[in-house]
Amino acid sequence: MAVFLLSCFMLAQDLDVALNGRSRPGATILDQIESAPERQAFLDLYREPDPVARRSKASAFLRTYPSSWLLAQVTEAAARASFDLGDTTTGLYFARQSLELYPENPLLLATLAAVRANRHEPVEAKRDARATLEALAKFQPPANMKDRDWSPVRERLRATALRVLGPNGEMPEVAKLPPDPKAAYAGSEACRTCHAAQFASWSQTGMAKMLRPATAEGIMADFTTLGNFAEFGQLVAKGFEKDGRFFVDLRRTAGRGTVGWDRYPIDYTIGSKWQQAYATRAPDGDLHVIPLQYNRLEKSWLNYWRQIDPPGSERVNVGEFHRLRDVTSYQQNCAPCHTSQLQPKGFLEAGVNCEMCHGPSAEHARGGAPAFKFQQVDNRRAVQICAQCHAQSAIRTPQGFPPQYQRRPYAEFSRKAFYRDGRFRETTFIVEAFERSKCFQQGTAHCGSCHDPHPANAANNPTSLKYLDQPDRMCTQCHDARYSAKSHTQHSSGEASRCVSCHMPKIMNSLLFKARSHQIDDRPKPEMTLRFGNAESPNACLECHSTESVTWVRDQLKQRWVRTDAAPRSAPPAPR
């Protein structure tokens, strides 16, 4: 079991690539631990067979490295050692610490279900058993485990959960659907006649404009400023417009020397709101994404791959772009989320069209019934539609609709994706963060509770909020209005009095700006900030009270807030 647990946490994947069946992790988590003594202490702990010694080594590790990236694994090891020794109270203490950092761990969840069942705690035991089955259904096996090794472990975990839940605890298996034929899709233009208002608003959204042929009107960058872009003291790019077309020249390098310049026409734009990328068509017809992108907020160019890739990534080198490898291919890295109805070669429509959310509609366009209705599915099924693109961990293999994508285990991603306190740092993990929320897990909240993918005010509402001018309504549609009153917020007006300021702080990295966390029931936790520091456990209070200390935040929370149960009074409207 110790060897298996170690293997589960040893992998790390680039952050911003479309995962498919061929995707394989790169660097390990241990590679990202800079301290050699810390790495060795972790390995010594996991190789220790004696539970007394293992728990002792885990406790020593926690004292020596209290803010390590490996705390979820170390506290899990301490929990298991405690369970082996029959000390369930200490085991549960360590298990709670581990799951706070990594709550989607089916191995630990199944163990807790069994332990709590034996302690005659049926409510908690069944909760952990259901979470076990959900994780087993949602996530792929660890990428470095062979099927013959994973299958018996998976079946033991599943059997444990089913024994706790009883005969009605079975959950449906995740099935890969065969791809729908091209003839099943009508294209977005077929929706315009009957759904004119929705079509008009959707056409102004970022989804509709996700990929477009390059035009002077659609390009947001000033290409004349690209000639100022330098790396390591050397100019590496030039940009210009000629006869209505845009071009980029990139410096080709070999070793330390320059060997010339390569010219690429800009054939497509990618994105239209905060940042825009540019794609060029290679002689074989494949699109490749230029590494230099334009950020509208900063009015500047940046090397996108250098911003998001882990150390050692080959595609961050602008001088190597002329090789046009798989790592720069639009089809492999971008197309699943930026275009519609992905095909083995190409796609049926640029941008995110109606049928990406509403399903294949050729039969409906001929007068038949809709293939899929949001009003007829629960919140989990509704979120799966959005997770096609907004879940970074989804394995995007071409298949039919509604998609049944499994996820890559979160531990297989680069530590750049997370804060040390376990929360997601990158906006590409928006769905993953939302699914950790009690609003989703215990309530009926879904993406459509707060967002409208084709709002009437799309041009002025880039985040497609349902209640743009009354943001608290997105919470009070379910929760009692007293939670937006001063008696609860302790702030009379302004940004600090908004529900989202405390429960959805702007801590998720979207390159050059911060976006709101979608782990909606997030609360300021000064104990975590004291442990990891505000850079690795950002505290919502310190976003405004930046001159105060974490201990001040802790004291204020104790003095001014009495914990209340903010249970929703009703369910949000059904998804549309």
Q: Would you list the DSSP string of 103-130?
A: TT-HHHHHHHHHHHHHTT-HHHHHHHHH
- With a CB cutoff of 8 Å and minimum separation 6, the contacts of 11 are 25, 28, 29, 142, 143, 144, 411, 412
Stated length of the chain: 576
- In the chain, domain spans: 2-165, 209-335, 374-560
- pLDDT for residue 414: 82
Average pLDDT, the chain: 88
568 against 315, higher pLDDT? 315
DSSP-derived letter for residue 176 is P
Residue 386 has pLDDT above 90, yes or no: yes
Work out the pLDDT band at 437, boundaries 50, 70, 90.
Answer: very high
- pLDDT for residue 11: 54
Please say whether the beta carbons of 147 and 141 come within 8 A.
Answer: yes
- pLDDT for residue 346: 87
Mean pLDDT in residue range 245-269: 86
DSSP-derived letter for residue 167 is T
- pLDDT for residue 163: 95
- pLDDT for residue 576: 47
pTM (whole model) above 0.85: yes
Burial 544-557 (b: 16+ CB within 10 A, else e): eeeeeebeebbebb
Angle CA 494–496–498, to nearest 5: 80
Work out the pLDDT band at 563, boundaries 50, 70, 90.
Answer: low
Q: CB burial class (10 A; 0-12, 13-18, 19+) of residue 535?
A: exposed
Work out the pLDDT band at 562, boundaries 50, 70, 90.
Answer: low
Mean pLDDT in residue range 516-542: 93
| Separation between Cα atoms, residue 325 and residue 321, nearest integer Å | 8
For 159-178, how does the pLDDT look when each residue is reduced to its tens digit (9 = 90+)? 999 999 987 777 777 778 88
For the ranges 3-17, 53-67, 290-304, the lowest mean pLDDT is seen at 3-17
**Structure tokens that stand for 295 in this block:** 């950020």
Q: List C-alpha distances in Å: 528 to 101, 339, 402.
A: 11, 40, 39
Q: Which residue has the tokens 């970074």?
A: 392
Work out the pLDDT band at 19, boundaries 50, 70, 90.
Answer: confident
2-165: CATH number: 1.25.40.10
503 against 416, higher pLDDT? 503
- pLDDT for residue 24: 55
Q: CB burial class (10 A; 0-12, 13-18, 19+) of residue 185?
A: buried
Work out the pLDDT band at 257, boundaries 50, 70, 90.
Answer: low
- pLDDT for residue 575: 47
- With a CB cutoff of 8 Å and minimum separation 6, the contacts of 219 are 246, 266, 269, 276
Please say whether the beta carbons of 506 and 515 come within 8 A.
Answer: yes
CA-wise closest residue to 8 among 61, 96, 80: 80
Omega before residue 505 within 30° of 0, cis: no
Please say whether the beta carbons of 518 and 505 come within 8 A.
Answer: no
Please say whether the beta carbons of 184 and 362 come within 8 A.
Answer: yes
| Separation between Cα atoms, residue 268 and residue 276, nearest integer Å | 10
Omega before residue 402 within 30° of 0, cis: yes
For the ranges 16-30, 374-388, 434-448, the lowest mean pLDDT is seen at 16-30
Please say whether the beta carbons of 79 and 73 come within 8 A.
Answer: no
For 104-128, how does the pLDDT look when each residue is reduced to its tens digit (9 = 90+)? 999 999 999 999 999 999 999 999 9
**Structure tokens that stand for 223 in this block:** 């290409």
Residue 572 has pLDDT above 60, yes or no: no
| Separation between Cα atoms, residue 155 and residue 136, nearest integer Å | 10
**Structure tokens that stand for 173 in this block:** 């298996």
Q: Which residue has the tokens 């149960």?
A: 565
